[in-house]
Amino acid sequence: MNGDEVLPDNRKNAVRPAPANKLSEAEEQTIIDVCNSERFKSLPPSQIVPALVDEGVYLGSESTFYRVMHKHGQQQHRGRAAKPAQRKPTSYCATGPNQVWSWDITFLRSPVRGQFFYLYLVIDIYSRMIVTWEVHENESAEHASKMMTKACLRHGISALERPLVLHSDNGSAMKGGSMLSTLQSLGVVSSFSRPRVSDDNPYAEAIFRTLKYRPGYPSKPFTDLTAARNWVHGFTQWYNEDHRHSGIKFLTPGQRHRGETKTLMDNRKVVYALAKKRHPERWGSRATRNWDLPDEVWLNPDKCIDGQLSKAA
């Protein structure tokens, strides 16, 4: 080896001179501008390059175009094929009962394999109370619109100061013409989950899980429509008046809906305070259990940012 010979630096992170054939920043920007022009914004490089060559213009090969587009994050979803913007679900806040309802339809097994009964169920997200339900042999917007009309009359929705929001997914019964026209005539605001997003309707999904996984749910199909309706009637009575819901500090949904929260929570605080007074050594420096229940319940709230919940209007 010649003593004056300089060996190449083959280390991974070595600083190497730029290739002689590397495009300058100005040349790369020219390619990007051409690709994003009105004429070429929906075309791939395989069509852009020949079109430019026919006009006597050569900016680079197809592979060069692809490499530059990839570098600038524009290789995919261009022009009309652009990726659609993600629409956030609308957020709603309930500060009392009959302000935001959520509903859905679930299957109940029938004696015939492949055929089902359909449970239509509406829940108040503030109190978690089932405000109405029906079971039918088919799924239709007509059944849903009649159910909502009766529910609004029963709960005095038309007399409320603020309009009721009814949230659902995008099923045919939810977005049928008769259902939407009925809600409009009742003054109810329609709200829908994002397409193909399963967790925009969490309250309805949660109650269906409670319904189908509780010990009393039949292990065999319902014998007929009457049997299905009788069972759901019993479940509703239990859920609204006996079930202590973890999401509302173990009140029953009926208690929360009727406005009995403050009285019951104040009584629990007194009982705990007396118990601590009798046996302070059992608590030590710990405070008694927190029985405060938030006055706001949100449907699809915005994400937390720096520990603060950014709520949509």
At 185-223, the pLDDT tens digits run 999 999 998 876 666 789 999 999 999 999 999 999 999
pLDDT-derived band of residue 313, with 50, 70 and 90 as boundaries? very low
Q: Hey, which of 108-122, 154-168, 279-293 has the most confident mean pLDDT? A: 108-122
CB 79 within 8 A of CB 40: no
At 79-99, the pLDDT tens digits run 665 666 666 778 899 999 999
Nearest to 169 by CA among 232, 118, 106: 106
For the ranges 42-51, 211-220, 254-263, which has the lowest average pLDDT? 42-51
Q: Give the distance between the most distant pair of CA atoms in the chain.
A: 100
Q: What Cα–Cα distance (Å) separates residue 124 from each residue in 10, 56, 291, 311? A: 68, 68, 21, 20
Mean pLDDT of 294-307: 73
How do 165-168 and 189-192 pair as beta strands?
parallel
At 221-256, the pLDDT tens digits run 999 999 999 999 999 999 999 999 999 999 999 999
pLDDT-derived band of residue 307, with 50, 70 and 90 as boundaries? very low
Domains of the chain by start residue, with CATH: 27-81 (no CATH), 92-254 (3.30.420.10)
